[in-house]
Structure 1
């Protein structure tokens, strides 16, 4: 039995994957090996969580971790027993995200943001800015340099934003914006940030590590 989240008006959903070697960050395996790629996934998820916890010190937000791979016990042993975990569920990324938004709004949230853990530039300031923009705009998007997005925030469920999107391609951001325009949604953009998906992206993570030490 999964404990249901106690949702505040501002709710954050973190999409991540249990860091199992060989199934995680597969495009980085040629550079890092299976263990190294899984370890990077582990570190980036922990980095994202630390930023969210920083934000909680100054903002009334609740958050949950939606995971694929592993199971509830493995997630708790990794990230702690005090967090809310939910499996991402079935379907493509769009279906899983649409469902997570719907669940959060049904739980009483009024401003909901979903992020992944591939973009270490998502710090507590970016998240605070995203929630602030969500006060005025129905849709907040954080464009990724590769043409996707690293953050999406909504004031109410808009399942249309997650249908007929070519996930994992450079078209994701533009397709999402064009659907938003068709629906006459008010949109706010955040700064462009880079995901870490390929070996040539690794220097971005090395810069983040330097800042940590």
Structure 2
């Protein structure tokens, strides 16, 4: 069981062709990329089920309302509609909203299919003695971010979707005297090569093939 309960925000986009996984779509086409992404939503939410009910799993949705995500309704404890703005603004608002319950909050996306409940357990455990926790990815970003309480300005001044994202955030923590810890590094899937490498590591089916 988790030593300290909390909320896990899963940031999701509606799998509309042309609006998700654009780097992957450059190789396999927008329809195939959207279908792969649709499957990844179920994979990530499925991996988090053993955390419930000790932790609440909330779908932080973008691109459509809750009715469009009904297929995954039994895998979450509720939906929260992301506001307009850049990633930092949307994360900040999600954390502000979730921290109203006075519990630690984590956020994950749907690009890291290797996330396991143990990593989430460890993140909550680290937040017992730290202000923030990050799960790094090999490209300089992170697959998980969490805070023990709402930290004003935590998501400001970050160069998102760059090799500097995690570095910027650690500097932000240092400048604000927030204690931060790291989880083990995992891999995001952004491109066809990322997907093929993941499939080879895990034995998953490499489908669909690239378009000519």
> Is the shorter-chain TM-score for this pair beyond 0.5, marking a shared fold?
yes
Structure 2 distance, partners of 1:130, 1:161, is 17
| 197-206 or 168-177: bigger deviation | 197-206
Match of 2:158 among 160, 165, 174: 165
Q: Partner residue of 1:99?
A: 93
In the alignment, structure 2 segments of 5+ residues that lack a partner are: 206-212
Q: Partner residue of 1:121?
A: 114
Q: Partner residue of 2:18?
A: 22
Shift of 1:82: 6.8
Shift of 1:36: 1.2
Match of 1:37 among 24, 33, 37: 33
Specify whether residues 135 and 94 from structure 1 end up closer, same or farther in structure 2 by C-alpha distance, changes over 3 A only. Answer: same
2:154 match: secondary structure: helix
Matched-pair contact (CA < 8 Å) for 2:5–2:124: no
Specify whether residues 82 and 126 from structure 1 end up closer, same or farther in structure 2 by C-alpha distance, changes over 3 A only. Answer: closer
Shift of 1:31: 2.0
Structure 1 distance, partners of 2:73, 2:98, is 21
Q: Partner residue of 2:210?
A: none
1:160 match: secondary structure: coil
Report runs of 4+ in structure 1 exceeding 2 Å deviation.
Answer: 80-83, 207-212
Specify whether residues 141 and 82 from structure 1 end up closer, same or farther in structure 2 by C-alpha distance, changes over 3 A only. Answer: closer
2:48 match: secondary structure: helix
Q: Which has the higher helix share?
A: 1
Report matched runs for 1:6-155 at 5 Å.
9-56=5-52, 60-76=54-70, 78-80=71-73, 83=76, 84-106=78-100, 108-155=101-148
TM normalised by structure 1 equals 0.88
Structure 2 distance, partners of 1:81, 1:116, is 18
1:13 match: secondary structure: strand
1:157 match: secondary structure: coil
Q: Would you say how many aligned residue pairs link Structure 1 and Structure 2? A: 201
Q: CA RMSD in A?
A: 1.9
CA deviation profile, 1:79-120 (whole Å, cap 9, x unmatched): 1267311111111100110111111111x1321101111111
Structure 2 distance, partners of 1:198, 1:169, is 15
CA deviation profile, 1:154-208 (whole Å, cap 9, x unmatched): 0111132211211111110000000100111111100111110112201243147
Specify whether residues 85 and 24 from structure 1 end up closer, same or farther in structure 2 by C-alpha distance, changes over 3 A only. Answer: same
Matched-pair contact (CA < 8 Å) for 1:13–1:114: yes
Matched-pair contact (CA < 8 Å) for 2:61–2:82: yes
Matched-pair contact (CA < 8 Å) for 1:19–1:42: yes
